Amino acid sequence: MTKRKITIILTAIATAAVLVAIRSIPGSVRRGMEKETEPLRSIIDVPLRKHMGENKDILRTVVSIKKTGSAHGPWTYELARYDDNKQLGSTYTITEDRPLVPGGIMQAATIAFLMDHGGLQVDRRFPTCHGELPGTVRDYHMVDYERETGKDSISVREGFLLSSRYCIGKAAMEKPYFQHAFEERFCDYFGSSTVQVTPYPATDTPSKRVAFASGRGVVLSSKQVVSFYDAITNHGVRSRQRYIRPKQICSRMAADTVKSLLAQNVLEGTGRLLSDFMPPIAGKTGAGRLEDGFRTFMSATETYSFAGFFPVASPRYTMCVTIYTREGVTIGTATAMRIYEEIVTKMDDSGMIW
């Protein structure tokens, strides 16, 4: 037998072994998935069905959740209205991504990036300037802040708690080529690249830079959000996943700073609706409008989200809840927080957290 024939035979044997291994993966993944997801599905179904039953304007609710340190997930669950009669379907596990505009949720990633690559300090103060930035719409959070506090400057920390696009936009505008540099880190931060919302021009303009930094100029999925927030709970290291090694996506200092900001946001900021909840939750609210290219379900355009982790001291799970409504229907992020709270309560009652 020639050397060439031996090489061909060995190659064929190796290829067959690889194919057998690949075919065995889906079954094991599916069995592991069912073991982890079925208890969660029944827990998540109740609060989703309750709040969507009370508010007919909610077209869809998506929940992504990941157990800290697990090689599986995030798992994503969805409850949607399946016709114009607004009847609810079943809560089921989905594998595809659902787009959302992260808004304030994205600011956590922007702060981590600017700390590592721009030397940003969260206690640095910027002049409020009545919320005016060149080429952008006035941020009236700053006008209210000036009136209520009598101050003419605000720290990045305070701006984060207000979910203000002014402070984070001001910091981003100081870094040359901010957007291009940040986009290069997207795969590390969120697990995959993100998509630009269409109205913003391709060139690097002040309005686009502010929109990008504040989370209103990008589209992510709830899985991507959970992937980043999960890494924050682990000092900036993305946990091991199947065939993917752990990776440091941002510095430990940046991750721990963002983690403390998220905990403070629930106590004093936009998440204070959950301030008295036990076990303690850390997280951030976010809202935005999907543009035409992303309206894939019953003309759902408005997204309202809450993303975070729990318990704060020793996180066991990271979760993002997103509500979708039609254009012009404003319900705010409070409903997303209530759903989040009720899911965590049921998980706690079932002994899944401690």
Angle between helices 334-349 and 3-54 (to 10 degrees): 110
Q: What are phi and psi of 31, to 5 degrees?
A: -65, -40
294, two tokens: 């992303």
Cis peptide preceding 311, ω within 30 of 0:
yes
Residue appearing with tokens 């759902």 = 300
Tokens in use for 50?
């309750």
CATH number given to 41-349: 3.40.710.10
Residue 227 corresponds to which amino acid? S
Domain boundaries, the chain: 41-349
The C-alpha atoms of residue 210 and residue 106 are separated, in whole angstroms, by: 12
Tens digit of pLDDT at every position of the chain (354 positions)? 566 666 666 666 666 554 444 444 444 444 455 556 678 888 999 999 999 999 988 989 999 999 987 777 788 999 988 766 577 888 878 777 788 889 999 999 999 999 998 899 999 999 999 999 877 788 999 999 999 999 999 999 999 999 988 999 888 888 777 777 787 777 788 876 554 444 444 556 777 778 888 888 788 889 999 999 999 999 999 877 655 678 899 999 999 999 999 999 999 999 999 999 999 999 999 998 887 666 555 567 889 999 999 999 999 999 999 999 887 888 989 999 999 999 999 999 988 887
Measured between alpha carbons, how far apart are the two ends of the chain, in Å?
63
User: Rounded to the nearest 5 degrees, what angle is found at the Cα of 172, between the Cα atoms of 168 and 173?
Assistant: 120
Helix axes 165-173, 206-213, angle to 10 degrees: 120
Q: Give pTM, 2 decimals.
A: 0.85
Report the alpha-carbon distance of residue 159 to residue 285 in Å, rounded.
Answer: 13
Beta bridge partners of 154: 126
| Cβ 194 vs Cβ 100: under 8 Å | no
DSSP 241-263: BTTB--EE-S-HHHHHHHHHHHH
Q: In whole angstroms, what is the distance from residue 234 CA to residue 238 CA?
A: 7
> Is the Cβ–Cβ distance between 258 and 111 less than 8 Å?
yes
Q: Yes or no: say if 329 and 302 are a contact pair by the CB < 8 Å rule.
A: yes
